[in-house]
Amino acid sequence: MKKVVKFGGSSLASAKQFKKAGDIIRADRARRYVVPSAPGKRNKNDEKVTDLLYACYDAASTGAPYGKIFSRIKERYNQIIEGLELNLNLDFEFDRIEKNFIAAAGRDYAASRGEYLNGIIMSHYLGYDFIDAADVIFFDENGTFLSEKTNAELAERLSHSERAVIPGFYGAKPDGSIHTFSRGGSDITGSIVARAIHADLYENWTDVSGFLVTDPRLVENPVPIETITYKELRELAYMGASVLHEDAIFPVRREGIPINIRNTNRPDDPGTLIVESTCRKPRYVITGIAGKKGFCSITIEKAMMNSEIGFGRKVLDVFEKNGISFEHMPSGIDTMTIFVHQSEFQDYEQSVIAGIHRAVQPDSIELESDLALIAVVGRGMKSARGTAGRIFSALAHARVNVKMIDQGSSELNIIIGVKNDDFETAVRAIYDIFITADR
């Protein structure tokens, strides 16, 4: 059995948290490869070391004073080392980092030092090998991740290491310079390592016991999701449910390796298991509800639109030419509505309207702003009758006016458009009808 364990920033924010992580790793011999993040927040008002590194670099590389902030960074690591009673001194590393900051080695280099230093500490603490991610994770000159080269090199390197720590978040470009994934990218590193060693499981340890059916800021104490498929997760993550980096599923998905989201502070909780597919019956008809505000709709009306071949293409071409991606496109006989992100659309509004007039000579174009989209996702919906009916009667009872409905062709989700102001009420109503009523 081989497991890759990734620990997020809050799981490694202090010596106390490091000890919890150490206990978890030592409790299971299969936890052989460890991917740490940089130290995160110890409490709500604390700072993430990654943010301190960016700020410190911005000052140091432009000749501004940076001493104070650099001391805060050193202090964070030294406190962890002392708390763990390690015989380790990072002064040499700190000096080298300082020199490289002044020499403007790059913002990515700066940010990556958070994981790099935490990786060194972790490897000492566990007695595992330390493998610098710059030697095994590769990007091209433009910063595109090179998955196959990385997979081959990493597999080869790890075949010589029984137990190792590989820092998350970064790798190297062909010229040796450091490049990072986007924020939260240690999740991706964990997934890449899991793929390379054909892990049985990728455990992602964080500060929540997995995914919840919906956002706890919208519904009090939502129930946890026990099992979710990659596809369901994609739908929910796209709509704003964030626990795992969006791109982290791709490497493990190729190998069919499940991901288990676990809570470092509650190691006995089973967390959420993310799988390719499963026969396990979901406990509720729906798996999750997520949503986002800030959309607007463009409704185009033209008599006999339905018989005009190429109408849709011409309209979408206008959006493409203006560089705007669309979210949904429900249509009627003489109408077609396009949903877009308000922030992306605003600056091009008039150019799009003019473009549509020129392209298809519509009878009218109407805009509506401040809309929210809610995705109700669940593999169980396929075989359950009346799901849409239940959603709409719940919304009607809650006095929410539905602006749009779109059932994905996979029968995995139903997307509902409502006014921004109705967003919270709508999510709560849907939660209640499927979860509270079924408990």
Q: Minimal distance in Å, beta carbon 354 to ligand ASP?
A: 41
Residue 37 lies near ligand ASP (rule: CB under 6 A): yes
Closest CA to 278 of 233, 310, 215: 233
Q: How far is the CB of 289 from ligand ASP (least distance, A)?
A: 26
Instruction: Determine phi and psi for 414, rounding to 5 degrees.
Output: -125, 125
Q: Do residues 48 and 41 touch, judged by C-beta distance below 8 A?
A: yes
Task: Provide the mask over 157-196, with x wherever binding to ligand ASP is found by CB under 6 A and - wherever it is not.
Answer: -----------xx-------------xxxx----------
Nearer to ligand ASP, 113 or 253 (CB): 113
What is the closest distance, in whole angstroms, from the C-beta atom of residue 6 to ligand ASP in the complex?
Answer: 8
CB closer to ligand ASP out of 182 and 343 = 182
The residue assigned the tokens 């075949």 is: 159
Give, as ranges, the residues between 275 and 304 that touch ligand ASP (CB under 6 A).
Answer: none
- Cα 34 from chain centroid? 20
Strands 201-206 and 178-180: unpaired
Q: Which of 406, 386, 390, 388 is nearest to 398 (CA)?
A: 390
- Taking the complex as a whole, the smallest distance from the CB of residue 385 to ligand ASP amounts, in Å, to 42
Report in angstroms how near the CB of residue 77 gets to ligand ASP at its nearest: 14
b/e per residue 307-327 (b: at least 16 CB within 10 A): eeeebbeebbebbeebebebb
Sequence-distant (6+) residues with CB within 8 A of 26 are: 126
Q: Which is nearer to ligand ASP, 184 or 291 (CB)?
A: 184
User: Which residue's CB is nearer to ligand ASP, number 115 or number 406?
Assistant: 115
Pick 35 or 426: Cβ nearer ligand ASP: 35
Q: What does 5-47 look like in DSSP terms, one character per residue?
A: EEE-GGGGSSHHHHHHHHHHHHT-TTEEEEEE-----SSTT--
Minimum CB separation of residue 174 from ligand ASP in Å reads 23
Q: What are phi and psi of 123, to 5 degrees?
A: -65, -35
How far is the CA of 425 from the CAs of 227, 394, 438, in angstroms? 26, 10, 19
Residues from 39 through 68 that contact ligand ASP (CB under 6 A): 48, 50
> Kind of pairing, strands 413-419 and 364-377?
antiparallel
Q: Is 41 or 149 the residue whose CB approaches ligand ASP more closely?
A: 41
- Does 114 engage in binding with ligand ASP (CB under 6 A)? yes
CB of 105 to ligand ASP, least distance (A): 18
Total number of residues that touch ligand ASP (CB under 6 A): 12
Minimum CB–partner distance for residue 187 and ligand ASP (Å): 6
Contact present, 353 and 318 (Cβ < 8 Å): no
Measured from the CB atom, the residue of 183 and 254 that comes closer to ligand ASP is: 183
What's the closest the beta carbon of residue 48 comes to ligand ASP, in angstroms?
5
Q: Which is nearer to ligand ASP, 248 or 427 (CB)?
A: 248
304 Rama sector, left if φ>0, alpha if ψ -120 to 50, beta otherwise: left
Nearer to ligand ASP, 37 or 227 (CB): 37
* Residues facing 413 on adjacent strands: 377
Contact between 9 and ligand ASP per CB under 6 A: yes
Residue nearest to ligand ASP (CB): 186
Q: Are 109 and 100 in contact (CB under 8 A)?
A: yes
Residue 380 within binding range of ligand ASP, rule CB under 6 A: no
Please give the residue ranges that form the binding site for ligand ASP (CB under 6 A): 9, 37-38, 48, 50, 114, 168-169, 183-186
